[in-house]
Structure 1
Amino acid sequence: MSLIPTPASVRAVLLSACVVLAAGCTIAKPRTDDPWEHFNRKMYAFNDAADKAVIRPTAVAYRKITTADMRRIVANFFANIRMPITIVNDILQVEPRLALRNTGRFAINTTLGFAGLFDPASKLHMPLQETDFGVTLAKWGLPEGPYLVLPLVGSTSARDFWRLPADHYLDPLGWYADHRDLALNAEQVPSMVYLVTLRARGLDAEGLLDGVYDPYVFYRDAYRQRRLYDIYDGQPPAEVIEQLQGTGDVDVDQLLDEQRAFEKKDGDK
Structure 2
Amino acid sequence: MKERKSRRWSSRMVTAVLLALVASSPVVAQNLQEPPGEQAMPVATNDPYESWNRKVFVFNDSVDRWFLRPVAQGYRTVTPDLVDRGITNFFNNLTEIRNFTNSLLQLKGESAVVAFGRFTFNTVFGLGGIFDVANAFELPERPEDFGQTLATWGVDSGPYLMLPFLGPSTPRYFTGMAADGFMLPSAWESVESPEWYYLRGLQIVDKRADLIPAESFISGDRYTFMRNAFLQRREFLINDGKITEDPFASDDEDLMLDDF
TM over 0.5, shorter chain: yes
Give CA deviations for 1:59-104 in whole Å, capped at 9, x if unaligned. 1011001122111100110011221111000011110111012111
Higher relative contact order (CA 8 A, sep 6+): 2
Larger Rg: 1
Q: Percent identity?
A: 34
Residue of 42, 49, 52 corresponding to 1:36: 49
The answer to whether residue 209 in structure 2 is matched with residue 200 in structure 1 is yes
TM-score of the superposed pair, with normalisation by structure 1: 0.73
Residue of 202, 205, 221 corresponding to 1:214: 221
| Counterpart-to-counterpart distance in 2, 1:141 and 1:69 | 42
Letter matched to residue 95 of structure 1: K
| Counterpart-to-counterpart distance in 1, 2:67 and 2:216 | 20
Distance 1:57 1:188, change over 3 A: same
The answer to whether residue 235 in structure 2 is matched with residue 235 in structure 1 is no
Q: Name the structure where helix makes up a greater proportion of residues.
A: 1
> Which segments of 5 or more consecutive residues in structure 2 lack a partner in the other structure?
1-11, 14-41, 255-260
Query: Following TM superposition, by how much is the alpha carbon of 1:175 offset from its aligned partner in structure 2, in angstroms?
Result: 3.4
Residue of 166, 187, 192 corresponding to 1:180: 192
TM-score of the superposed pair, with normalisation by structure 2: 0.76
Counterpart contact for 1:59–1:200, Cα < 8 Å: yes
Counterpart contact for 1:30–1:144, Cα < 8 Å: no
Paired residue secondary structure (1:82): helix
Distance 1:48 1:84, change over 3 A: same
| Counterpart-to-counterpart distance in 2, 1:112 and 1:213 | 44
Give CA deviations for 1:2-60 in whole Å, capped at 9, x if unaligned. x98xxxxxxxxxxxxxxxxxxxxxxxx85313112122112111110101111000110
Q: Bigger CA drift: 115-124 or 163-172? A: 163-172
Query: Following TM superposition, by how much is the alpha carbon of 1:173 offset from its aligned partner in structure 2, in angstroms?
Result: 4.4
| Counterpart-to-counterpart distance in 2, 1:222 and 1:98 | 25
Give 1:76's aligned residue: 89
Counterpart contact for 1:81–1:172, Cα < 8 Å: no
Residue of 192, 196, 199 corresponding to 1:190: 199
Paired residue secondary structure (1:136): helix
* Equivalent runs, 1:250-261 vs 2, <5 Å: none
Distance 1:158 1:101, change over 3 A: same
| Counterpart-to-counterpart distance in 2, 1:52 and 1:230 | 28
Residue of 103, 116, 120 corresponding to 1:107: 120
| Counterpart-to-counterpart distance in 1, 2:204 and 2:213 | 16
Counterpart contact for 2:100–2:112, Cα < 8 Å: yes
* Equivalent runs, 1:18-29 vs 2, <5 Å: none
Letter matched to residue 138 of structure 2: H
Query: Following TM superposition, by how much is the alpha carbon of 1:235 offset from its aligned partner in structure 2, in angstroms?
Result: 2.3
Residue of 26, 51, 54 corresponding to 2:67: 54
Distance 1:235 1:173, change over 3 A: farther
Letter matched to residue 214 of structure 2: A
Counterpart contact for 2:114–2:141, Cα < 8 Å: no
Paired residue secondary structure (2:188): helix
Counterpart contact for 1:82–1:172, Cα < 8 Å: no
| Counterpart-to-counterpart distance in 1, 2:75 and 2:163 | 25
| Counterpart-to-counterpart distance in 2, 1:105 and 1:160 | 25
Letter matched to residue 238 of structure 2: I
Distance 1:159 1:246, change over 3 A: farther
Query: Following TM superposition, by how much is the alpha carbon of 1:245 offset from its aligned partner in structure 2, in angstroms?
Result: 3.7
Residue of 151, 162, 169 corresponding to 2:182: 169
Residue of 96, 100, 105 corresponding to 2:109: 96
| Counterpart-to-counterpart distance in 1, 2:142 and 2:188 | 22
Counterpart contact for 1:82–1:173, Cα < 8 Å: no
